[in-house]
């Protein structure tokens, strides 16, 4: 079970504070929210990567379309002790995909091949991976670039079983996922509304989909709402976020983004009404921890 990269949520501080619930959920690895692969941009200045991996089993993820810039970034993180890296080929947001990054890279197989080649060359065989979608507009588009992925000694390919056009809405397409997994000759990981017991939507065991592993994101974050130790964990998360960010405003945004995942639960709906309008950490603590 792998923790998915949820930008702004499953960050390093989150993973440190909620390490015990992650272990309880059998999450043995995490993929970090993406870092831009850009020339002249030192990835080690990013909070996710500064200081090296330590004892955490985490995989840095990069987004971009410049193979030379990716090589430069990967060399830096490898020298700093990171063992693995991942390429974001699945971000569905229009502003990113229209620029040929994230899921948009699926439209340029030549660029995709160069990026995968750069990753495997720098990190080594079996050390570089990719996370993608079934396609941009149609669920069979990944099939047209399957041989690009198959041409490289990748660690794995994680497939979110939706198109980029769907964003995070609508049903996952398990038939299209099966077809894509069958076309790939590298280990495949299932992603998309997976449950913490390793099942795809409809209760389908992910191993029946031809998967090596399962990646979960929202299901894990939502499960924290009923964790028995959530109050002390939230208090610690606020404290550590304040120490990291240095001021209240970004901490408020971070905590609100997390609690928004819990707002549909009856026991959190009233709290969410107060949390979303909180203007200080004092107000936030009163709403969350009383």
Provide the phi-psi class of 108: left if phi over 0, else alpha when psi is between -120 and 50, else beta: beta
* Residue 143 neighbours by CB distance under 10 Å: 17
Quote the CA–CA distance of 2 and 87 in Å, as a whole number: 16
Residue finishing a domain among 224, 252, 267: 224
What's the rounded Cα separation, in Å, for the pair 25 and 2?
10
Model pTM score: 0.95
Handedness of CA 190, 194, 197, 199 (dihedral sign): negative
> Average of pLDDT values for 262-288?
92
CA–CA separation, 22 and 29 (whole Å): 9
Cα 193 to Cα 199: distance, rounded to the nearest angstrom: 9
Backbone phi and psi for residue 249, each to the nearest 5 degrees, phi listed first: -55, -50
Rounded CA-CA distance 65/87 in Å is: 10
Give, as one character, the DSSP assignment of residue 46: S
Q: Which residues contact 219 (CB under 8 A, 6 or more apart)?
A: 193, 194, 195, 196
Query: Do 134 and 7 share a domain, yes or no?
Result: yes
Q: Which residue range forms the structural domain that includes residue 262?
A: 228-289
pLDDT at 26 (0 to 100): 95
Number of H helices, E strands in the chain: 12, 12
Q: Are residues 198 and 270 in the same domain?
A: no
Tokens of 281: 């950490």
Residue 62 binned pLDDT confidence (cut-offs 50, 70, 90): very high
Q: Which residue has the tokens 């609690």?
A: 259
Beta carbons within 10 angstroms of residue 242's beta carbon? 15
Same domain, 9 and 86: yes
Return d(Cα 144, Cα 225) in angstroms, integer: 41
Token pair belonging to 290: 């009383």
Helices (H), the chain: 12-17, 19-24, 67-79, 94-97, 109-123, 146-150, 174-183, 218-223, 230-245, 248-259, 266-275, 281-289
Residues 6+ apart with CB under 8 A from 216: 1, 2, 3, 4, 25, 27, 191, 194, 195, 196
Categorize the per-residue pLDDT at 54 as very low, low, confident or very high, splitting at 50, 70 and 90.
confident
The confidence score (pLDDT) of residue 212 equals: 80
Please tell me whether residues 158 and 220 are part of one structural domain: yes
Of 224, 251, 276, the position where a domain reaches its end is 224
Mean per-residue pLDDT over the chain, rounded: 95
Burial (CB count <10 Å: 0-12, 13-18, 19+), residue 86: buried
Mean pLDDT within 181-186: 96
Q: What is the predicted pLDDT for the residue at 56? A: 85
134-150 pLDDT, tens digit per residue, is 999 999 999 999 999 99
Residue 290 pLDDT exceeds 80: no
Cα dihedral 66→161→120→80 (10° resolution): 80
Q: What is the mean pLDDT of the segment spanning 106-128?
A: 98
| Contact partners, residue 266, CB within 8 Å, separation at least 6 | none
- Answer yes or no: do 217 and 236 share one domain: no
Q: Do 208 and 113 belong to one domain?
A: yes
Residues 101, 245, single domain; the answer is no
Q: Specify whether 137 is located in the same domain as 51.
A: yes
pLDDT (0 to 100) of residue 207: 87
8: Cα separation from own chain's centroid: 10
Residues 131 and 260 in one domain: no
The CATH number of the domain holding residue 147 is 3.20.20.70
Q: For residue 57, what pLDDT is reported?
A: 92
Residue 215 shares a structural domain with residue 274: no
Model pLDDT for residues 68-115, shown as the tens digit of each residue? 999 999 999 999 999 999 999 999 999 999 999 999 999 999 999 999
Checking if the pLDDT of 202 tops 80, the result is yes
- From 176, 199, 224, the end of a domain falls on 224
153 and 275 co-located in one domain: no
In the chain, % of residues over pLDDT 90:
93
Q: Are residues 69 and 173 in the same domain?
A: yes
Number of domains in the chain: 2
């Amino acid at each position: 079970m792998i923790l998915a990269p949820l930008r702004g949520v499953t960050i390093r501080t989150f993973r440190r504070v909620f390490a015990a619930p992650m272990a309880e959920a059998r999450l043995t690895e995490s993929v970090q929210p993406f870092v831009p692969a850009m020339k002249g941009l030192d990835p080690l200045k990013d909070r996710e990567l500064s200081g090296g991996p330590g004892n955490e089993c985490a995989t840095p993820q990069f987004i971009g379309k410049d193979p030379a810039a990716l090589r430069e970034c990967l060399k830096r993180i490898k020298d700093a002790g990171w063992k693995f890296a991942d390429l974001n080929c699945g971000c569905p947001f229009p502003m990113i995909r229209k620029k040929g990054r994230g899921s948009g890279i699926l439209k340029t197989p030549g660029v995709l091949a160069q990026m995968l080649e750069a990753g495997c060359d720098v990190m080594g065989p079996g050390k570089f991976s990719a996370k993608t979608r079934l396609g941009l507009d149609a669920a069979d588009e990944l099939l047209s670039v399957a041989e690009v992925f198959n041409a490289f000694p990748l660690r794995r390919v994680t497939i979110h079983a939706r198109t980029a056009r769907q964003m995070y809405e609508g049903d996952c397409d398990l038939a299209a996922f099966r077809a894509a997994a069958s076309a790939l000759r590298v280990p495949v990981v299932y992603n998309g509304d997976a449950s913490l017991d390793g099942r795809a939507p409809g209760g389908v065991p992910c191993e029946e989909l031809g998967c090596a592993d399962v990646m979960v994101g929202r299901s894990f974050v939502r499960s924290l709402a009923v964790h028995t130790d959530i109050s002390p964990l939230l208090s610690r998360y606020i404290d550590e976020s304040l120490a990291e960010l240095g001021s209240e405003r970004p901490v408020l945004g971070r905590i609100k983004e997390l609690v928004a995942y819990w707002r549909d639960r009856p026991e959190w709906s009233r709290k969410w009404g107060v949390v979303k309008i909180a203007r200080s950490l004092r107000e936030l603590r009163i709403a969350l921890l009383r």
